[in-house]
Chain A
Amino acid sequence: QKEVEQNSGPLSVPEGAIASLNCTYSDRGSQSFFWYRQYSGKSPELIMFIYSNGDKEDGRFTAQLNKASQYVSLLIRDSQPSDSATYLCAVIHNNNDMRFGAGTRLTVKP
């Protein structure tokens, strides 16, 4: 079982729609969860982090965490073509090591 699993996509949504990105993790002791955005040819850029169960909102982005289900998600409201990128879920593993999922490629169509 992979430590962090994401649907690789591609996920395609129309402009203005809500994009929903999902991630599951295997280490029940994980406490810190991150979403990164990576444009093609660029390095990952931190979008959000979440530590507590529930929702955390930042502008058009909402991170959701459910530790009991070992599930973290990212919602992007009012999706824009500029949101088209690969989204990486990351989880803090033992000894502060960060483990990444394979990423979900999102395409927002005008």
Chain B
Amino acid sequence: SAVISQKPSRDICQRGTSLTIQCQVDSQVTMMFWYRQQPGQSLTLIATANQGSEATYESGFVIDKFPISRPNLTFSTLTVSNMSPEDSSIYLCSVEGGGTYEQYFGPGTRLTVT
């Protein structure tokens, strides 16, 4: 499986500011995904990021709040904009395995908004 890294691993931010989370993969992948996992909860898909096209957002998530970039097949960023304490969560990127739909996850970014 691919080796996935995320930066930063954690951050504490003030409300009203923005944070950009980076996801780097050691091999080229077509599909990358961004998830949110709130404390004690399961994973919720934010958006799917494909290289060369606009990200596809799930219901309840909008581009103005969570802009995503996918400049190449090994890298993506998720920005959490105008943060509020409700955005405190773990943000995870994942990539799809080769042709069998399984996903592999990065280590996550733990965000706390004060």
Chain A positions near chain B (C-beta within 8 angstroms): 32, 34, 42-46, 49, 88, 90, 92, 96-103
- Shortest B57–chain A CB gap in Å is 11
Size class of the contact patch on chain B = 20 to 34
Instruction: Judge whether B41 and A102 touch: CB under 8 Å.
Output: yes
Contact segment of B14-22, B69-77, B81-89, B105-113: B105-113
Which single residue of chain A is at the shortest CB-CB distance from B96?
A96
Instruction: Judge whether A46 and B42 touch: CB under 8 Å.
Output: no
**A45→B102 CA distance, assembly (Å):** 11
A32, A45, A88, A97: the one contacting B42 at CB < 8 Å is A88
**A68→B31 CA distance, assembly (Å):** 30
B residues near A98, Cβ cutoff 8 Å: 33, 45, 101, 103
Instruction: Judge whether B105 and A43 touch: CB under 8 Å.
Output: yes
Is B53 an interface position by the 8 A CB rule?
no
Instruction: Judge whether B42 and A103 touch: CB under 8 Å.
Output: yes
Instruction: Judge whether A32 and B100 touch: CB under 8 Å.
Output: yes
A residues near B33, Cβ cutoff 8 Å: 98
Instruction: Judge whether A44 and B102 touch: CB under 8 Å.
Output: no
B residues near A90, Cβ cutoff 8 Å: 103
Instruction: Judge whether A100 and B31 touch: CB under 8 Å.
Output: no
**A59→B92 CA distance, assembly (Å):** 28
